[in-house]
Structure 1
Amino acid sequence: MLLSLSLGALCVGLVAAVDPLVDVTYTKYQGTALSNGITQWLGVRYAAPPLGNLRFAAPQDPVENSTSSPPSNTSDEDCLFLDVYAPSNATSTSKLPVFFFIQGGGFNTNSNANYNGSGLITASDMNIVVVNFNYRVGPYGFLAAKEVNSTNNGLKDQRKALEWVQKHISKVPKTSPPPSTHSPSPSNSPLTHRSQFGGNPGHVTMGGDSAGAASVNLQLTAYNGRDFHLFHATAAESQSFAAIRTVPECQYQYDNLVIRTGCASSNNTLACLRGLNATFLQSVNINTPFPGAQDAPLYMYGPVLDGGMVSDYTYRAYAEGKFVRVPAIYGDDTNGGTVFTPKNTSTVGEMDTFLKDQFPALTLDQLSTINRLYPKTTEQWPDSGPYWRALSNAYGETRYMCPGLFISSTYFSYNVSGNYNYHWNVIDPVLYAEGYGVTHTIEVNAIWGPSNVNGGAPASYEPGGVNAEIVGVVQGYWTSFVRTYDPNVFRKEWTPVWEEWTGGEGQGEGWRRLMFQTNQTRMETVDAGLQGRCRYLSSIGLALKQ
C-alpha cells in the first residue's frame, strides 16, 4: 500500500496566550490557536524527505529550511511529518506530560492519520501535549533483503520522531538559525523565539493501536531492551503479534518486487528500485503468499529480525526480560478478529487455510489443537459461514488478545509496577446486529473522542448515543495515566479503581483487568476458558515466530 498522506498543512493562525511561532532549530513553524484553548502545529517535518537515495534507507535529520511550503494534502512518499497539539497557554517551562501516539495499519498502511489531539487535552484539563505522526509502511518502511543496507526503517522513523520530541518538545535552542520560508516572525527577529510546545521530554507516554501497539512492543524490546530514555510509560491498544521473519526469509519479497518492476536485469537492483516513479512502484506493490502458504496474507511487509532494532522474537524478548521496564497499559476488544476474517468461511479447511496463510509455520498438530479449542459455534450471524466466528476467535486471540495478556503477566513476573490491562466490551448496536461484535481497535474512537477521528466513530459513541457515556470514562483513565502513570488519580469520581494486574504466565490466580462496558465498567477476572486458550497459544508463539 502507498504511504499515508502527510499529517496536514502548516497553518498561520491567531495569536494565543503565547506566540505560536515555534523555533525547532532547523526551521520555524507557525501554529494555529483554536477557539477551544488549544494550539495545533500541523505538518512539522521531523526527518529528511525519504526520496531518491533515502528510499529504503534509515531516516535522516531534516536540513535547515528543508521545507519551503506546506506538505501536500494527498498521499505522498514524502510523509515524515508530525502534528503537535498543546494548550495555548503552555510555554517552554510548562513541562506538560506528552502523549506520543503511533498509528496502526498492519505496517502496510497508515490507518489513523490526522487524529486530533484536542479531545484528549480537554479531557486532561489542559494538562498534556499530544503528538501523532506518519512513518513509512509497506516496502517503503519494511523492505528487507541482502541488497538493502537498512532494515526496519518504519520503526526507525518512529524512533526518529521520539528523538524529535526529546529535542524540541520544550527545549530552548542555544542558537537560532536563519529565518525559514515557512512563516516569518511577526517581529522579523529570529532570535526572540523559543520552542514553546510546553511538553516535558522526561515524561513521555508512548501509545499506539494495532500495528502501532505492536510498535510499542518493538520499541520496548529494541536493541535487547536497552533503555534510551525516549519514553517513560506505554499505553498499547489492541496490541498485535504478527510473525517476524529474518532478512533471508524476506528475500523473496524483494526478488518479486524487482521482477515485477523490470529491474531484474539491472546491475544494481536497489538503485533501480530507488529510481522508479513512486506511482509505478506502487502499481506493482502487491501481496504474495508467504513460503509454505497457499494465499496472500492480510499483511506481507512487516518488521524483520535483524539482530539490532528487532533483536528477538517478541514472545521470547519479553519472556527473557529484554524489555524496558516502565508503567504500562495493555488491552484488547472482545471480537478482535471479526473484521479480518472471511465472513463466508464455511469449512474447517477454509479456516485452517486462512490461519496458515497468516502464520505459515503452523503445523498440522497445532492446527488440530486450534480446531479443538475453537469449534464451530452454534450461534450464526447474518450472511456468514458456519466457521466464520470460530476462525475470527482463533485469529483474534492468537494475534491480539493473548499477546496482551501474556505481556501483562510477564510484567508481573518481573515486578514491574504500574501494570494495567483492560477488556473493551462496549456493544455498538449496528456492529452487533451485523455479527462483528466489539471490533478491533474500536476503543480509539472513545479514547480520542468521536469528533476527533475523522468521522470514523460509531454513531453510538456520539453525543446522545447509547455509548456516549463511555467516552468520558475512558478519557478519564487514559489522561490520568498519561499525566501520572496511574489511571486512577484523575479518573471520573464515580468510576471503579483500575486495579493493577496480578498473576504471572501460567498462573491462574490474579488475571484481573478492567472491563469497559457502557454503564457497567468494572474489574473482572479473565475467564478460565480464555486463560487456557491463551496459555496454549503463548506456548506455540515462538514456534509461529511471533
Structure 2
Amino acid sequence: MRFAAPPTGQLRWQAPQPPASVGGIQNATTFPPECPQGYTGVSSVNPFEKRSLLRRDTDSEDCLFLNVHTPSNISSNASLPVVFWIHGGGYTAGNASLETAQDLVKESDYRVVAVSIQYRLGLFGFLAGQEVNDGGALNAGLLDQQFALQWVQDHIAAFGGDPQRVTIWGESAGAGSVLQHVVAHGGNTQPPLFRAAMMSSSFLPFQYDYNAPIPQKLYSDTVDAANCSKAPDTLECLRSTDIGLLSAANVAIAANNFYGTYAFVPVVDGSLIVERPTVTLNRGQVNGEALLAVTNAFEGNIFVNATFFANTSYSLADYVSQLFDGLNESQIQDTVDLYSNVPSLPDTLSQAEAVMGESIFICPTYYTLRAFGANSWKGEFAVPPATHGQDVYYYYESIYPSVRTFNNTDFLNAFSGAFLDFTVFLNESDKINGSNITPQWPTWDDDYTEMLFNQSTTNEPVVETIQTDEQLLKRCE
C-alpha cells in the first residue's frame, strides 16, 4: 500500500508527503517496485574515484509503499501487537519483498500484525550537505520510515493492530535505522511512535554533521556526476536530472568508497537527529520502553577484503588509517595496540575484521543496551559461519531453508521465537510456544548476561546463557 506521495521531481530530497486520495478498491496483491539501488564500497583506498554502472530495471523512485500481513483468522475487534520491519542493505540497497513478513505472523502463532516498509536509499534518501539543508530535507530515508510509523499509528487499527503496541525491528541498516529512531529528537519523540525496539546487527557507521567535509564532498561528487556544477541552483538542477543519470551516480559514488563502507548514510541534521547517536545514548535518553538486541559472532568478516592482507606489507595500521580517515598517527597506533594483543585475534586479517565489526556493529549495540538499562535483553547468534546477515535466514523460515546451515526445529523456535515473544510480551521470560527450549533469559544489565544461540558439533541446538567478554567491553569503551 502507498503510504506517501512519489518522491519525484520537486519532492526529491523533501520530507515525505501524504499520497493523493484515490477512490475505489485498490489491488494490494503484488510487491511494489524497489527504490533505486546503490552499492557498497569496493575500493582499496579512501576516498573514491569515478566509475559507471547501470540502473536496475526493477528500480523506481515511486517506491514508498508498505506491506501489511494479518492473521487469516483475525476477529473484527482484534487489537494485536504490531511488528514493524525495516530492511537492511547499508542504506543503499534492499526492499520489502526480500523478507516475507507473513512468516512473522505464522511464527507468532497468529498473535501479531506484521508491517514491512520501503524507504529512499543511497543518494535519493541520504544525500546531505548545506545545499540539501537549505533547499530540502536531510535524512529523507529516515523521514520516510518515520512517516510510515505515523501511518501505522493512524491506520493499523483498521487491520486489527494496536498502535500502542508497536515494536520496530530491523537487521543491519534496518537495525541501524531502529537505533536512529531510538535517539530521534534527543530520545524524546512526542507523541511516541513505537513501544519497543529490536536490533539485529545494528549498523552505526560514522555519522557526521550534515555539512561536514565528507557529506559536502559527496554532494559535490553528485553534482559533478549529474553535470550540474555550473547550475545557479545545484539542488534544483539535481531535481530535474534524469533518473538514469542519478542512478548511475548513486552506484558509482558508492562503489568508489573504501571497501566494506557506505557513502550515503544518516547524518546529524539538528532536527530529527540532533547529535551523534552515541552522545544521546550516553545520556540514557531513548525512545521506547524496552530493547532486544542480537549480534552475530563475526560481524566484520565480510566487510574486510582479505586480499589486502595477502601482501605482507599491508599492516593493521594501513587498514585503520583507511577506515578511520579522521584519526591522527597517535590515535591510529593506539587502535593498533588495542587489537594487536587479543588472544582470539592471531593475525592481522582477524584483527582488521574485529576493528570493523566491533566499531560499527557490536559496540554500538552495547551502547544502546546500556542506555536501556534494566529493560534490555542481548542475544548472540553463533551458528557457523555466523557472519553478518546469516541470522536473517532464521527469521524468515519460508524463503531461506536452502541456505540455512542448521534446520533444527527446536533451534528455529527458540531463536526466531525470541523476537515474536518480545513483540507480544516485552519480556523474554514469557513465551508464546510452551515447548520453547530457551532457558530463563535475564536482562543484560544483570551481570552482562546474554543468550547464546549456537549449534553443537553433534548438530544439536545450543541455547544457553553466557557473560559478555569484559575485554570486548573495554575495547568498546
Task: Give, in whole Å, the separation in 1 of the partners of 2:186 and 2:359.
Answer: 24
- The question of whether the paired residues in 2 share the 8 Å contact of 1:45 and 1:81 is answered with yes
Aligned to 1:95: 79
Q: Deviations over 1:151-182 (max 9, x none)?
A: 01100000011011111111xxxxxxxxxxxx
Alignment equivalent of 1:500, drawn from 443, 446, 458: 443
Counterpart AA for 1:65: V
Cα distance change, pair 238–480 in 1 and its aligned pair in 2 (3 A): same
Partner-residue secondary structure (3-state), 1:344: helix
Aligned to 2:381: 424
Counterpart AA for 1:316: V
Counterpart AA for 1:306: D
- The question of whether the paired residues in 1 share the 8 Å contact of 2:286 and 2:372 is answered with no
Deviates more, 1:299-308 or 1:348-357: 348-357
Counterpart AA for 2:329: L
Alignment equivalent of 2:475, drawn from 524, 533, 538: 533
- The question of whether the paired residues in 1 share the 8 Å contact of 2:96 and 2:118 is answered with no
Aligned to 1:305: 268
C-alpha deviation, 1:378, in angstroms:
9.0
Aligned to 2:285: 322
Task: Give, in whole Å, the separation in 2 of the partners of 1:68 and 1:324.
Answer: 35
Q: Deviations over 1:323-361 (max 9, x none)?
A: 224111112011000111002232574544444434322
C-alpha deviation, 1:379, in angstroms:
9.1
- The question of whether the paired residues in 2 share the 8 Å contact of 1:288 and 1:295 is answered with no
Aligned to 2:177: 215
Counterpart AA for 1:441: G
Counterpart AA for 1:324: N
Alignment equivalent of 1:235, drawn from 198, 211, 216: 198
- The question of whether the paired residues in 2 share the 8 Å contact of 1:289 and 1:357 is answered with no
Cα distance change, pair 379–96 in 1 and its aligned pair in 2 (3 A): closer
Instruction: Work out whether 1:142 is the aligned partner of 2:79.
Output: no
C-alpha deviation, 1:133, in angstroms:
1.0
Partner-residue secondary structure (3-state), 1:45: coil
Task: Give, in whole Å, the separation in 2 of the partners of 1:225 and 1:111.
Answer: 27
C-alpha deviation, 1:376, in angstroms:
8.6
Count matched residues: 435
Which runs of 5 or more residues in structure 2 are unaligned?
35-57, 456-460
Instruction: Specify the structure having the higher radius of gyration (Cα).
Output: 1
C-alpha deviation, 1:110, in angstroms:
2.0
- The question of whether the paired residues in 2 share the 8 Å contact of 1:514 and 1:523 is answered with yes
Aligned to 1:254: 219
C-alpha deviation, 1:498, in angstroms:
1.2
C-alpha deviation, 1:294, in angstroms:
9.2
Cα distance change, pair 363–294 in 1 and its aligned pair in 2 (3 A): farther
Counterpart AA for 1:251: Q
Within 5 A, what are the aligned runs for 1:76-91? 76-91=60-75
Aligned to 1:405: 366
Counterpart AA for 2:440: V
C-alpha deviation, 1:146, in angstroms:
2.0
Instruction: Work out whether 1:458 is the aligned partner of 2:403.
Output: yes
- The question of whether the paired residues in 1 share the 8 Å contact of 2:208 and 2:268 is answered with yes
Cα distance change, pair 323–377 in 1 and its aligned pair in 2 (3 A): closer
Task: Give, in whole Å, the separation in 2 of the partners of 1:132 and 1:138.
Answer: 19
Partner-residue secondary structure (3-state), 1:235: strand
Counterpart AA for 1:407: T
Cα distance change, pair 294–497 in 1 and its aligned pair in 2 (3 A): closer
Q: Deviations over 1:67-117 (max 9, x none)?
A: 977744722111101111110122452001000011111112226644112
Aligned to 1:225: 187
TM-score by length of 1: 0.74
Task: Give, in whole Å, the separation in 1 of the partners of 2:86 and 2:319.
Answer: 28
Counterpart AA for 1:442: Q
Aligned to 1:122: 106
Aligned to 2:145: 158
Alignment equivalent of 1:269, drawn from 215, 225, 234: 234
Deviates more, 1:82-91 or 1:348-357: 348-357
Alignment equivalent of 1:245, drawn from 205, 208, 220: 208
Partner-residue secondary structure (3-state), 1:496: coil
Aligned to 1:28: none
For the aligned residue pairs, the C-alpha RMSD in angstroms reads 2.7
Aligned to 1:511: 448
Partner-residue secondary structure (3-state), 1:248: coil
Task: Give, in whole Å, the separation in 2 of the partners of 1:141 and 1:418.
Answer: 32
Task: Give, in whole Å, the separation in 1 of the partners of 2:419 and 2:210.
Answer: 37
- The question of whether the paired residues in 1 share the 8 Å contact of 2:184 and 2:274 is answered with yes
Cα distance change, pair 268–424 in 1 and its aligned pair in 2 (3 A): same
Alignment equivalent of 1:202, drawn from 159, 164, 179: 164
C-alpha deviation, 1:143, in angstroms:
0.9
Partner-residue secondary structure (3-state), 2:325: coil
Task: Give, in whole Å, the separation in 1 of the partners of 2:17 and 2:109.
Answer: 36
Cα distance change, pair 406–130 in 1 and its aligned pair in 2 (3 A): same
Task: Give, in whole Å, the separation in 2 of the partners of 1:452 and 1:198.
Answer: 26
Higher relative contact order (CA 8 A, sep 6+): 2
Which runs of 5 or more residues in structure 1 are unaligned?
1-43, 171-194, 428-436, 504-509, 536-546
Within 5 A, what are the aligned runs for 1:54-73? 54-65=11-22, 71-72=32-33
Task: Give, in whole Å, the separation in 1 of the partners of 2:102 and 2:154.
Answer: 23
Aligned to 2:47: none
